[in-house]
């Protein structure tokens, strides 16, 4: 399932996938895979992404 919240949060900060990837320490393709729903990140990666985007886990990764 696509992670549109992540995509929206990233776009809200006017950040590209590459910039977010560099900040978090992963490849751009991994960020792309997470946003497309092709990859489920570990909790550590989720926390790193939340920290980079200034959001909580619930806001980015919790299914409603």
Site residues, another protein (CB under 8 A) = 25-27, 29-30, 32-33, 39, 41-42, 45
CB of 24 to another protein, least distance (A): 9
Q: Are 53 and 45 in contact (CB under 8 A)?
A: no
Q: Are 24 and 16 in contact (CB under 8 A)?
A: no
CB of 36 to another protein, least distance (A): 9
CA distance 51 to 24: 9
CB of 42 to another protein, least distance (A): 6
Which two three-digit tokens encode residue 55? 């959001």
Nearer to another protein, 36 or 54 (CB): 36
């Amino acid at each position: 399932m696509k992670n549109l919240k992540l995509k929206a949060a990233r776009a809200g900060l006017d950040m590209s996938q590459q910039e977010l990837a560099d900040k978090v320490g992963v490849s751009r393709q991994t960020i792309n895979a997470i946003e497309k729903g092709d990859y489920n990140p570990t909790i550590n990666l989720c926390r790193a992404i939340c920290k980079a985007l200034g959001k909580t886990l619930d806001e980015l990764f919790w299914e409603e």
